[in-house]
Every structure is written in C-alpha cells, then in structure tokens.
Amino acid sequence: MARRSRAREVVLQILYQEDLNPDADPRLADEFLRARLKHDENLIQFGRYLLVGTREHRKKIDMQLERFADNWSLRRMAATDRNLLRLGAFEIIYSDTPARVAINEAVELAKRFGGKHSPQFVNGLLDRILKSIQAEGGEPA
C-alpha cells in the first residue's frame, strides 16, 4: 500500500470513530495517528492535514454532499461511505491533491471498507462534486 494511501486509511478510521462517538477526546486521535503511521513524521503531518482540514470544513463539505446525493441524506448513508466522501471531498475542494487521485483513493478505500455498492456510490458522488467545480470555472487540485 502506498504511504499516503495508508495515511488516508488511518484518517478514515479516525473520522469514522469520531462520527459514531462525537464526544471522543481528539487527543486520542493524534495518538492513534502516530501509532498507526509508525511515527513517520511526513505521513503523520499529511494525516493531520487531512484530518484537521476535513474537520474544519465538515459543514461545507456536508452541504455539498447533500446537494449532490440524489435521494440520500447524510444520515441515511453508511458511516463508512459518509466519511470516505467527506475525506474525498476535502481533498477535491480544498487540497492540492489532483482531483482524480483523490477520487481514486476514496474508491479504493470504499472497496476495502465499504459495502458492495460503496465504490460506485463514492465515485459517482465525488465525480459530481468535481464536475460542479469545473462547471463553475473553479480549478480543483
């Protein structure tokens, strides 16, 4: 597994845990991140960037997901899919990760952690967000 892919996997696990346990101590997330990434400082910094960015932009990201998820509310989505989408949308909208890379990474995580239809669902929704940004003249990463 590529190094950054591993960081995304760990961040997904943290987002999932925080989604289901919103009162969890955020310091535990950093300890988990450090331990799972074997104290590799570059990966830890990348993981922190993804985690903090997804947390900070969560409301805006959730609004985008609701906007493009036809007949789906965030509450009805599987927790894994919901958090994969948040992470992928953060990378597409706010990071310098190339958008197609962000989508591919999210789809690969969906294959590993999601349900049977998760990869198609995640791909379709993130692609809609990307196309919307492009149509509005934005330049996603």
**pLDDT given at position 141:** 46
Amino acid 34: pLDDT: 95
96-108 residues labelled b (16+ CB within 10 A) or e (exposed):
ebebeebbebbbb
CA-CA-CA-CA torsion sign (104, 85, 93, 35): negative
Give the model's pLDDT for residue 48.
97
Task: Give the pLDDT score at 121.
Answer: 96
Distance, in Å, from the CA atom of 70 to the CA atom of 66, rounded to the nearest integer, reads: 8
Number of Cβ atoms within 10 Å of the Cβ of 1:
9
Residue 135's alpha-carbon distances to 1, 71, 90, 130, in angstroms, are 34, 22, 18, 9
* Average pLDDT of adjacent 10-residue blocks, the chain of 141 residues: 91 96 90 94 97 97 93 91 98 96 98 96 96 80 46
- pTM equals 0.93
**Which pLDDT does position 136 carry in this prediction?**
85
